[in-house]
Every structure is written in structure tokens, then in C-alpha cells.
């Protein structure tokens, strides 16, 4: 809601996450372009598109109090990934703690369940701090300690538990009074060197000298945080030292400000007669961020809803305003905001609190006195006397379904102070979910189902992220003439809810989802907890309120029982009687981004015309000074580091038990899942006819959305929400580990529930996996299986929303689309991934929702017929399509699981042969090299170049993995980000898919970046390019990813999906650890230099600055619609 904090990497979050930190301006972890396929076979649908950039350009997604994945790893097995995506194995926490360190002192440090419990009392003094509160939190198996620093007044929260994945976070209230991006640019610049570590960019250098499980820095609208996590004790204190020194004692040099923030520079830096330009990492980052409808509209909502406070401004920075920021402004902002008296400290895990406090005090806080920071407190917004309306202009999407329906409108209210009443926050979160989410929600019925627009507007939902929360709802993809009607519909629906309230069953279903989410075990719990407490804590509330989930739920239930009209009164008080309401209508301007570019060019031209010769010389001198600084070989000896000896030689193994139930292979993973059972089933797609493949992503997304058997879609939605954590479906692509031209594709269904609901979950699963019966559709027959044919309006609604979401994703997810397209001609797996998740799928769905294709959605139309054929092939074919199943749960529930699983399997087997077999057709793979520029409405570019390499078992595969890490950090980071000004850039080896990809993200350059890639390859292949230290650091960085912790629900999943055993993974691990410098040089020469003519290129970029011509030098210039661009 309201353009609050957003990570660059996106993962869908439940709306029940009131404190979800989607932090907007985070430093990119460059050099990791990854897809899930690189580990165990790729997961289709949204997972493919979302995961590809997760380490390239952003932080990992966080979660919160009532959101998903909020429970600590207790004394349980710690699993591993095996490559740059997800990795799996298992051992005890204690064994991991001992294995992950090499220093004798650390090896004897009791860890996990064997740690020495804290023995503190309220009022006790400890290294300059006083304990002010101690509270056991049984729901999360931890004890919370709140302390205050005696001198500075800094607040400190420690969550003590047996989780070995320790985390730390220091957070400052940062309240800009303009949109110059001062807080955001400061967040970048403090990480460019400090007093103790006067190294060029210690943050990025530490990425490769650490076994961290998370490192980043993030800017929110009113605070900036610096979090990290790691399981290695020495690493924890290393990172703590670097982070504290960066935050409190940064260099903040002018040269770093000019690199990270903004600068004036000639296009040819040494030629004052060449064009004058604005450059800078944040400047270009924000150009990309602000190119989309979503960011512009959310920004407009925030600006108008909060007219007098810091939220009126863009904390990330508006590219129009960023050049106004001066270096002196930056330093002044640091001096007033980055002080211990304005800081909140957080730590979590099993390491001794005393040692952390001693280091925090001696390394930082002891050097400060107390400072009055009361002027930095955010005041309450001045409330409106009457609702207000605003009309703004904004950009357009790269693709539009209906040219007459391109406007966006939303109504938003300013609501409660988030720090005063946790029960009200929770109640409004539940109310927000009940109002908008799912087919039973009143606003969903009123706005989405009539297909007035293409989906909810950006900013829809309840957002308790600022001092005062907000709620917004609206539609995108609407006609201008419908705006007033939409506003009226929203207000009338609220009136109706204020009279009728919500059904008790719907409320309880939502609370059931909260219980599931709280129980779910996450390896990133420590980080998530730190993220979740910050907004309330920052504004004077107790961070412990965010942990008292059970008490909050009980209090809400009590209120509902004592006050029969509780929900009606809440809606009336919060919305109907609330005059602080705005309506924002954004109209599309096809020239929006172009006008910004023209305005910028005119400004620069005017500035250049007025430059004196002395100023020109100064700009040239400054450019040369920056280039000299960027080209220096950094002396990183002052930075702490781990060594290769800290990398465990043995992987952590997962114990998987194999059996058969009703003749079907079952994999059992006995894990501490906290009373939740996770279930997976894998179906063979090898014989599915090719003409049905484009419909597979739709089948995955629609599988549970249309109703089933006698239940319509509303009833089915309620049944699923009331008794399970939901069902999902994915497409799994697994390349043969010995042959890149051979891959298998499978359909995987996933479900989860509390153990008490096992019978109901399998009953629902039985209905969902019932064959739909033969085509053609008989309208008089009782529905059987998924109601593919009997819900044409619902089908149209879902497809419209999917198409709108895909259209909007083209510009913002440009690197995903570019990388998929570049790889698509190199292997059959990559081709399938692109066709089912890339731009071909975007266009396929858009065609289905076009007026000409309306008949295809009718009961006997092509879409329901195709989806029915897929269902019948999977669930009722003559051959056995169900390959195997997997259960992850606590062993004590296995007997009950097997009982209900057996019943489901009996029913499934009874369906075999009831549907006629479809004659399979085939389509041979034809390799094809590509050079494509996709022109889209964006102010920046995404540049991908992909080489075909070798299978997983090939001797060169481990060296290619190390090459990707080494080349990213030793060359590409400097050339693409620091010099080129892109937000992120690097390269990575997809070892499972047999590809090597260069990539840049939010890049002001396009084809020029291809020259950087070529030079990088030649540099890597040259003698002496990498040092032994570079090799060691690359190994640390690779294994930081390989050995990341994994949730109990996912342990053993790699074996289940791909068949890759621990023995295979251990062999590969040993080969990676054995890579030599000569191996890295050799693979660079072999695959990137000698193989330079065997690479494909794709650029998704600025339509106003297309640097190539269609048909020349092998280039295609296409629109997002895959048609040649019109000049």
C-alpha cells in the first residue's frame, strides 16, 4: 500500500503480514542471475520469473508477525541448498555449528541446544547497557531481552534462542524533507569505506570474504537499516565490526558521493565538447524504479495522503530532484540521523549476548554522548476536514490489452497510529484481507468480478508501515468514464459492510491462516523478526507487542464475542466517519518517460551552454579522479575475512526414507515442522502434447481457482482457506546432469495443513485431482473435477488479472525476460522456460483476453477444452502419470498421513484410464543464436548475454561456477556498476542448465555493456587476471550460497524433484573446493573467448534510445509484443 518499502526481489506475500518489510531501496547483491533450474530443475509459473533476479539486484524477501515464514529454527536439522538457488541436506544444529568453523576457540563454543542460556535480570548492567525487560516468548521458542544504553539512550532488543543462523540489525530513523534521495544515497555511501576500514567499497568486498546468509542495507520512507546474518561465529563478529564502523564512522568522501549519488560528467569524460550527462548509481536506479505505473501511482497516493510529513516525499529519490542534493547536505544528514541516540539495535540467535554488547559498546557507542533527537520524531498527519480528489499523469505499460482502458484510480484513507494498539492493527489487517482478498471479499465482488478493470490498483490493501497506517483500494486498466462509478462503488460497498459486517466463518478462516503462518518454520526467522518489529518500535511502540501473537488473537476473539457489531463499528469508525480520504486518478501519458528524458536533456543542454572553461576543466578533472579511484586495486588487508578452511568439506545430509503406498513411491522426511504437514506430488508431463504446453502455466495458476465438483469457486476458496495453508502447482524442468539436450518436465502439486486437518486436506486434494471428463462439455451434466467449463465469467476475470500483471512486469522484470529469451535458443529446457514464462507467455495470455478471442473462453472454447485435456492427461490418463509423492512432517504424524494419503491414492488409481488418451505430438529442438532488442517504456536497460556451456557432471562445470563469482566481483562490479552507473551487474553459471550468463540491471547503457562483457571475458582468460586470494574469496561467496539454511519443509525436496542424491552433491562439492586458478582461466578462454560466437544476446530497454537497427548485423528490434518495432 502507498509505495511503502519494497524489495527489488519480489515474492508474493500474504495480506495478513501487517509488518511485512518490502524495503524499497536496498543495495543490490550483484553478480547472481539465477533460476531455480540451476539446482534441481526449474519451478515454473511465477517462481521462475521471480527467482531469476533474487540475488542479482536485491535483498531477500522478508516476512513479519502475522505473515508467512515467521518462526525460528529451533533445535532441529539444518538443511542446505546445493547451488545458486535452493540447496538441501541435513545435520543437527550443533554439528553444523562445529563444522562451519575452523578456529579451535569457535569449535568449542557451545552452540544451538548446547549453548549456555542467558542468566540476566531486569536492572542488571552489562557492558554499558541496562536490562529493562525480559519476556519469554513460548510461541517462537525464544526469550526477548530489551536493554538501554546508559549514556546514549540507544535501545537494544535481543532474541535469545537456539537458532545458529544469527542476525544483527542497526536501524536509524531517517526523515527526509525533500525527494533528493538523501537517505537512500547516504545508505549507499556509508558502505563505501570507514575510519577502521578505509577500503574502497568494504560492503561488496565483505560479500566475498564471508559465509553470510544475508547482507544488505535498506532505506524505508522513515528509517534506514543495516542487517546481516550468518551461522559462523567468527563471521558474525567480522560483519558486526564492518557494519558498525560503516554506519557510525563512514568516510562519506566526495568521490563516493559522486559515484553512488549523482554527478555531472561529459559523455566522453575527457572531452568537454561531448554531451553533458547526469550519472550515478542511485540516479539510474531510481530512473528504473520510477518508470512503472505502480511506482508512480503508489508515490502519488503517498504524496497526497501525507501532505505535511516526511511521507509526502520520495525517500528513494526522484530523478528530477536527486541532482539538487549536495555533498554537504549528505554529511549533515548523517550527523543528525546516524547517532546512537537515534538508533535501534537488534540481535538474534544462539551467540552470547554479552560479547555482542561489549563490541557494540567499545567499537561504537562508547565514542558518543547523548543527543536530543526529538525533532526527528514523525508527527501525526494534519487531518482533512473533507475528502480530497487528485488527477495525475503517469507512464504506460509495455503492453496494453484494451487501449480504451488504461487509467488507474484508487480511494485511500489515513487510519490508526500503529504503535498504540496492536489489537486494532491486527483487526484492521484481518478486515483488510476480508475486504479485498479472494472471491468472497465484498470489494473483490464489487470491483474485480464485473471486469471493470484489469485488476486492483497499486497500493491496494492495509499498510501499517508508517507512523499512521493507511488503507487503499482501486482498479487499474479502467476507462476514464468509469472513474466516478468506481469511486462510488467502493464507498457503497464500505457502507454495506458497515451494516452487515463479516461472516464469522470467514473471520475464523483468516485467523486459521495466521496460525499456520506463525507455526511455519523459516530459516530467515531472525532477520524477519528484526524487520517486523522496526516500524512499531521506531514510533514508540513496544517491539514485544509484535511477538504476542496468541494474546493478540485471543483479545480480538474476546472483543468479537463481547461486541456483536465489532466489525461493523470498526469499518464505520475507520472508513465511513473518516474524512481523511483521497481519490487519485492517474491518466496514461504515452510520452510520460519521453518527456522526462527530453526535459532532462534540455536542462543539461542549458547547463552545458553556460559552463565556463574553468568549470569544464573541473568536470574533466573530477571524472579523471573518479576513474582513477575506480581503477585502483583495493587494498583489502584491513578487512576481516574467513578462509577456505572455514568451509565445511562435507555437506549436511538429509535423511529421506523411501517406501510405497498403493504402489506409488513415497519419500518421507521426518522434520521439526511444528505441527504442519507438507505434501508434494509429481506428475509426468513427458507425453503431454506440445499444443497443450502453452496452457501449462495457466493450468498451474487456475487449478484451485474455478471451483470443483459440487463446490463453486467461492465455496472451494472458503473450504481451502478454512482447513489448509493452500494448494499450489508448479512446472519442474530438470536437465539431464549428463546431457544438456535432454530434460524432463513434470507437474508438481504442493499442499500443507495443520496436522489436525490432514483428512480434510486429502479430501480436497481428491476433488482437485479428479479428471474433468471427456470433451465436449455437456452443460446439463453435474460438474466433475475442476469446473473448467462451467465458470466462463470467473475464467475471464482470472485471465484478465493475469494478463494485466504480466503486462506490467515487462519493464520492471526486464532482466528476467531478457535472460530467458537469450537462453531460449541454447537448450530445450531453456526454450520451454521462455515459452512458458517469458515474453511468449505474456503475449499468449494477452491474446486470450483480447475481444477477438472471447469465444475461446466460453464453455466449449479452446481454453477450457485445453485445460480439461491437461487435467485428464494428468489425473485420468491410461498410463500412470503420478510419478512419486513426498511428505515432510514430524515423524509422530506419519501414521495418520499414510492413512489419508493411501485413501487419496486409491481414488487416484481408480481414475486411471477413465479419460481417453491424447495422441502426443512432438516438436524438435532447433538451436538458435539470438540478438534481440526489446523496446519498452523504460528509462533504463537490462542487458543479458548467455553462452551454452556444459552439463552438471562435466569436469569444467565447477570452474565455471567459480568463474561466475570471481568475474562478478573482480571485474564486472567495477565496470558495470561503479563506472557504468548501473544499479547491478555481474555473471553467473547455471551449472544444472549448462549456461553462463552476463547481466546488467537498471543500466543506463545498452550495447556498450556488451563491450564490457567481451572485455571481461578476455580479461578473465588472460594470465594473472585472478589471484589466489580472488579464488579463495570466490569459494567463500559460492559456498555462502550453497550452504544457506533451508526450512524443514524443503529439506529433501531436491532429491524428490531431480533425483540428485547427497552422494552426487558431495562429489560436486569436492570438485568445487578443488578448483584451481588455472581451471578458472581455462574455462574463461574455452567458453567465453573461443566461444564468443556461440552466445545469444537480449536487451530489454529504453524505447527512446534504441541503438541498433532491425535487420542489421543480425539484430532484431522488437516490441514487447514480439513484433518488429515501428520506427
Percent of the residues in the chain that have a pLDDT greater than 70, as a whole number? 88
For residues 261 and 181, is the Cβ–Cβ distance under 8 A?
A: yes
Neighbours of 382 (CB within 10 A): 11
pLDDT at 858: 78
More confident residue, 1078 or 403: 1078
734-748 mean pLDDT: 94
Say yes or no to pLDDT of 50 above 80. no
755-763 mean pLDDT: 96
CA distance 951 to 990: 10
pLDDT at 291: 86
CA distance 531 to 398: 34
pLDDT at 924: 81
Q: Reduced to 3 states, what is the DSSP secondary structure of residue 1003?
A: strand
For residue 7, give the nearest of 228, 20, 35 by alpha carbon. Answer: 20
Read off φ and ψ for residue 447, nearest 5 degrees.
Answer: -110, -45
CA distance 792 to 706: 9
**Which residue stretches of 912-1002 are H helix?**
957-967
pLDDT at 197: 96
659-687 mean pLDDT: 94
Say yes or no to pLDDT of 615 above 50. yes
> Which residues are registered as beta bridge partners of 823?
none
More confident residue, 58 or 1064: 1064
Angle (CA) 732-734-739 rounded to 5° is 160
For residue 83, give the nearest of 817, 1065, 761 by alpha carbon. Answer: 1065
499-528 mean pLDDT: 92
List of residues 6+ apart from 561 with CB closer than 8 A: none
Say yes or no to pLDDT of 60 above 70. no
The three cell numbers of residue 802 are 493475469
Q: Reduced to 3 states, what is the DSSP secondary structure of residue 429?
A: helix
In which band, very low, low, confident or very high, does the pLDDT at 399 lie, cut at 50, 70 and 90?
confident
> Which residues are registered as beta bridge partners of 989?
996
DSSP conformational letter for 116: P
For residue 79, give the nearest of 1042, 987, 1057, 1113 by alpha carbon. Answer: 1042
In which band, very low, low, confident or very high, does the pLDDT at 96 lie, cut at 50, 70 and 90?
very low
Angle (CA) 753-754-755 rounded to 5° is 110
In which band, very low, low, confident or very high, does the pLDDT at 876 lie, cut at 50, 70 and 90?
confident
The sign of the dihedral angle between the CA atoms of 810, 814, 817, 822 is positive
Say yes or no to pLDDT of 37 above 80. no
Say yes or no to pLDDT of 16 above 60. no
Say yes or no to pLDDT of 1091 above 80. yes
In which band, very low, low, confident or very high, does the pLDDT at 781 lie, cut at 50, 70 and 90?
low
Q: Which H or E run includes 900?
A: helix 894-911
Q: What predicted TM-score, i.e. pTM, was given to this entire model?
A: 0.88
List of residues 6+ apart from 237 with CB closer than 8 A: 355, 359, 640
Say yes or no to pLDDT of 29 above 80. no
CA distance 773 to 49: 33
pLDDT at 81: 24
Q: Quick one: how far is CA 394 from the chain centroid?
A: 25
Say yes or no to pLDDT of 95 above 80. no
Q: Which H or E run includes 806?
A: helix 792-812
Detail the DSSP E strand segments found in 484-634: 581-588
Of 69-73, 210-214, 642-646, 972-976, which range is least confident? 69-73
Summarize pLDDT for 696-708 with one digit per residue, the tens. 999 999 999 999 9
In which band, very low, low, confident or very high, does the pLDDT at 841 lie, cut at 50, 70 and 90?
very high
Neighbours of 760 (CB within 10 A): 17
Summarize pLDDT for 434-457 with one digit per residue, the tens. 999 999 999 999 999 999 999 999
Summarize pLDDT for 173-219 with one digit per residue, the tens. 999 999 999 999 999 999 999 999 999 889 999 999 999 999 999 99
1030-1053 mean pLDDT: 94
CA distance 269 to 622: 9
DSSP conformational letter for 108: T
Residues known to be catalytic: 187
More confident residue, 25 or 78: 25
pLDDT at 100: 33
Mean pLDDT taken over the chain:
87
Of 128-132, 635-639, 687-691, 920-924, which range is least confident? 920-924
Summarize pLDDT for 294-341 with one digit per residue, the tens. 999 999 999 999 999 999 999 999 999 999 999 999 999 999 999 999
Angle between helices 894-911 and 758-768 (to 10 degrees): 20
CA distance 815 to 934: 11
Q: Reduced to 3 states, what is the DSSP secondary structure of residue 344?
A: strand
Say yes or no to pLDDT of 422 above 70. yes
Amino acid at each position: 500500500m502507498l509505495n511503502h518499502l519494497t524489495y527489488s526481489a519480489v515474492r508474493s506475500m500474504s495480506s495478513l503480514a501487517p509488518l511485512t518489510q518490502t524495503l524499497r531501496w536496498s543495495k543490490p547483491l550483484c553478480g547472481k542471475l539465477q533460476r531455480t533450474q540451476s539446482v534441481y530443475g526449474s519451478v515454473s509459473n511465477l517462481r521462475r520469473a521471480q527467482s531469476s533476479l533474487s540475488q542479482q539486484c536485491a535483498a531477500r524477501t522478508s516476512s513479519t508477525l502475522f505473515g508467512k515464514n515467521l518462526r525460528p529454527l529451533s533445535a532441529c536439522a539444518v538443511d542446505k541448498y546445493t547451488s545458486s538457488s535452493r540447496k538441501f541436506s541435513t545435520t543437527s544444529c550443533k554439528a553444523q555449528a562445529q563444522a562451519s568453523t575452523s578456529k579451535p576457540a569457535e569449535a568449542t563454543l557451545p552452540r544451538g541446544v548446547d549453548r549456555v542460556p542467558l542468566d540476566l535480570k531486569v536492572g542488571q548492567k552489562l557492558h554499558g547497557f541496562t536490562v529493562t525487560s525480559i519476556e519469554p516468548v513460548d510461541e517462537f521458542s525464544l526469550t526477548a531481552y530489551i536493554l538501554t544504553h546508559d549514556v546514549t539512550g540507544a535501545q537494544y532488543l535481543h532474541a535469545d534462542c537456539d537458532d545458529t543462523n544469527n542476525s544483527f540489525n542497526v536501524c536509524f530513523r531517517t526523515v527526509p524533507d525533500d525527494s533528493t534521495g538523501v537517505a537512500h544515497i547516504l545508505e549507499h555511501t556509508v558502505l563505501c569505506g570507514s575510519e577502521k576500514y578505509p577500503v574502497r567499497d568494504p560492503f561488496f568486498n565483505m560479500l566475498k570474504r564471508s559465509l553470510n546468509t544475508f547482507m544488505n542495507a535498506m532505506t524505508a520512507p522513515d528509517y534506514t537499516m543495516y542487517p546481516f546474518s550468518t551461522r559462523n561465529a567468527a563471521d558474525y563478529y567480522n560483519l558486526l565490526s564492518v557494519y558498525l564502523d560503516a554506519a557510525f564512522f563512514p568516510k562519506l568522501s566526495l568521490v563516493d558521493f559522486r559515484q553512488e549519488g549523482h554527478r555531472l560528467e561529459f559523455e566522453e569524460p575527457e572531452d568537454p565538447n561531448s554531451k553533458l550527462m547526469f550519472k550515478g548509481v542511485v540516479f539510474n536506479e531510481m530512473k528504473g524504479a520510477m518508470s512503472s505505473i505502480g511506482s508512480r501511482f503508489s508515490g502519488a497516493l503517498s504524496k497526497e495522503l501525507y501532505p505535511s510529513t516526511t511521507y509526502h516525499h520520495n525517500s528513494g529519490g526522484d530523478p528530477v530532484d536527486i541532482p539538487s542534493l549536495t555533498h554537504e547536505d549528505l554529511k549533515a544528514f548523517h550527523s543528525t540521523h546516524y547517532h546512537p541516540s537515534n538508533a535501534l539495535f537488534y540481535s538474534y540467535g544462539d551467540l552470547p549476548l554479552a560479547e555482542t554488547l561489549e563490541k557494540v559498546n567499545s567499537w561504537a557507542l562508547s565514542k558518543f554522548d547523548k543527543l536530543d533527537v526529538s525533532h526527528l520524531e514523525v508527527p501525526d498527519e494534519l487531518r482533512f476536514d473533507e475528502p480530497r480528489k487528485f488527477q495525475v499523469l503517469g507512464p504506460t505499460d509495455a503492453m496494453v490489452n484494451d487501449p480504451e482502458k488504461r487509467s488507474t484510480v484508487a480511494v485511500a484513507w489515513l487510519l490508526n497510529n500503529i504503535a498504540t494498539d496492536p489489537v486494532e492493527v491486527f483487526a484492521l489487517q484481518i478486515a483488510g484481507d476480508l475486504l479485498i482478498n479472494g472471491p468472497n471479499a465484498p470489494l473483490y465482488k464489487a470491483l474485480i468480478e464485473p471486469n471493470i478493470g484489469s485488476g486492483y490498483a497499486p497500493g491496494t490493501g492495509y499498510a501499517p508501515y508508517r507512523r499512521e497506517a493507511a488503507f487503499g483500494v482501486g482498479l487499474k486498466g479502467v476507462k476514464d468514464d468509469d472513474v466516478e462509478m468506481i469511486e462510488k462503488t467502493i464507498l457503497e460497498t464500505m457502507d454495506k459492510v458497515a451494516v452487515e459486517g463479516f461472516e464469522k466463518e470467514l473471520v475464523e478462516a483468516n485467523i486459521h491462516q495466521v496460525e499456520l503462518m506463525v507455526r511455519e518454520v523459516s530459516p530467515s526467522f531472525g532477520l524477519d523478526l528484526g524487520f517486523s518489529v522496526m516500524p512499531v518500535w521506531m514510533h514508540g511502540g513496544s517491539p514485544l507487542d509484535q511477538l504476542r501473537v496468541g494474546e493478540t488473537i485471543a483479545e480480538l476473539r474476546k472483543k468479537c464475542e463481547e461486541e456483536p457489531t465489532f466489525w461493523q463499528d470498526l469499518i464505520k469508525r475507520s472508513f465511513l466517519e473518516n474524512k481523511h480520504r483521497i481519490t487519485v486518478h492517474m491518466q496514461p501519458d504515452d510520452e510520460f518517460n519521453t518527456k522526462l528524458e527530453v526535459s532532462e536533456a534540455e536542462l543539461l543542454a542549458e547547463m552545458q551552454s553556460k559552463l565556463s572553461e574553468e568549470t569544464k576543466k573541473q568536470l574533466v578533472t573530477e571524472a579523471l579522479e573518479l576513474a582513477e579511484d575506480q581503477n585502483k586495486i583495493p587494498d583489502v588487508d584491513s578487512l576481516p575475512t574467513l578462509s577456505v578452511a572455514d568451509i565445511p568439506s562435507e555437506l549436511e545430509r538429509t535423511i529421506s526414507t523411501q517406501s510405497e503406498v498403493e504402489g506409488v513411491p513415497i519419500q518421507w522426511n521426518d522434520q521439526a515442522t511444528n505441527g504442519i504437514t507438507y505434501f508434494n506430488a509429481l506428475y509426468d508431463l513427458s507425453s503431454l502434447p506440445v499444443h497443450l504446453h502453452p496452457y501449462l502455466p495457466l493450468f498451474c495458476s487456475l487449478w484451485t481457482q474455478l471451483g470443483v465438483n459440487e463446490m463453486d469457486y467461492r465455496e472451494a476458496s472458503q473450504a481451502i482457506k478454512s482447513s489448509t495453508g493452500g494448494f499450489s502447482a508448479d512446472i519442474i524442468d530438470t536437465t539431464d546432469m549428463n546431457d544438456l539436450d535432454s530434460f524432463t518436465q513434470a507437474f508438481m502439486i504442493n499442499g500443507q495443513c495443520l496436522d489436525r486437518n490432514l483428512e480434510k486436506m486429502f479430501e480436497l486434494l481428491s476433488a482437485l485431482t479428479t479428471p474433468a471428463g471427456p470433451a465436449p462439455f455437456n452443460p446439463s451434466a453435474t460438474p466433475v473435477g475442476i469446473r473448467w467449463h462451467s465458470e466462463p465469467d470467473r475464467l475471464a476475470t482470472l485471465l484478465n488479472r493475469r494478463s494485466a500483471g504480466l503486462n506490467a512486469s515487462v519493464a520492471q522484470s526486464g532482466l528476467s525476460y531478457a535472460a530467458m529469451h537469450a537462453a531460449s535458443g541454447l537448450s530445450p529446457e531453456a526454450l520451454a522456460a521462455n515459452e512458458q514464462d517469458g515474453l511468449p507467455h505474456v503475449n499468449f495470455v494477452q491474446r486470450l483476453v483480447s475481444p477477438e478471442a472471447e469465444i475461446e473462453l466460453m464453455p466449449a472454447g479452446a481454453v477450457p477444452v485445453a485445460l480439461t485435456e491437461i487435467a485428464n492427461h494428468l489425473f485420468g490418463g491410461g498410463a500412470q502419470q503420478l510419478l512419486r509423492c513426498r511428505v515432510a512432517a514430524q515423524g509422530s504424524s506419519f501414521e495418520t498421513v499414510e492413512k489419508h494419503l493411501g485413501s487419496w491414492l486409491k481414488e487416484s488409481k481408480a481414475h486411471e484410464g477413465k479419460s481417453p488418451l491424447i495422441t502426443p505430438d512432438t516438436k524438435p529442438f532447433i538451436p538458435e543464436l539470438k540478438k534481440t532488442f526489446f523496446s519498452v517504456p523504460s528509462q533504463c536497460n537490462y542487458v543479458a548475454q548467455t553462452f551454452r556451456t556444459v552439463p552438471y557432471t562435466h569436469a569444467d562445470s565447477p570452474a565455471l561456477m567459480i568463474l561466475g563469482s570471481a568475474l562478478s566481483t573482480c571485474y564486472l562490479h567495477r565496470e558495470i556498476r561503479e563506472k557504468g552507473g548501473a544499479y547491478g551487474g555481474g555473471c553467473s553459471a547455471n551449472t544444472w542448465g549448462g549456461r553462463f550468463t552476463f547481466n546488467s540491471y537498471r543500466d543506463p547503457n545498452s550495447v556498450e555493456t556488451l563491450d564490457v562483457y567481451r572485455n571481461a571475458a578476455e580479461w578473465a582468460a588472460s594470465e594473472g587476471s585472478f589471484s589466489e586470494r580472488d579464488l579463495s574469496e570466490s569459494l567463500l561467496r559460492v559456498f555462502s550460497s550453497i550452504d544457506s539454511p533451508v526450512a524443514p519443509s524443503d529439506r529433501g525436496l531436491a532429491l524428490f524433484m531431480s533425483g540428485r542424491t547427497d552422494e552426487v552433491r558431495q562429489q560436486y562439492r569436492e570438485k568445487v573446493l578443488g578448483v584451481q586458478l588455472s581451471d578458472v582461466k581455462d574455462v574463461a578462454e574455452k567458453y567465453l573467448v573461443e566461444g564468443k560466437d556461440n552466445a545469444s544476446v537480449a536487451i530489454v530497454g529504453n524505447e527512446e534510445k534504441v541503438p541498433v537497427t532491425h535487420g542489421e548485423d543480425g539484430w532484431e528490434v522488437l516490441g514487447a509484443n514480439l513484433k518488429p518495432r515501428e520506427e
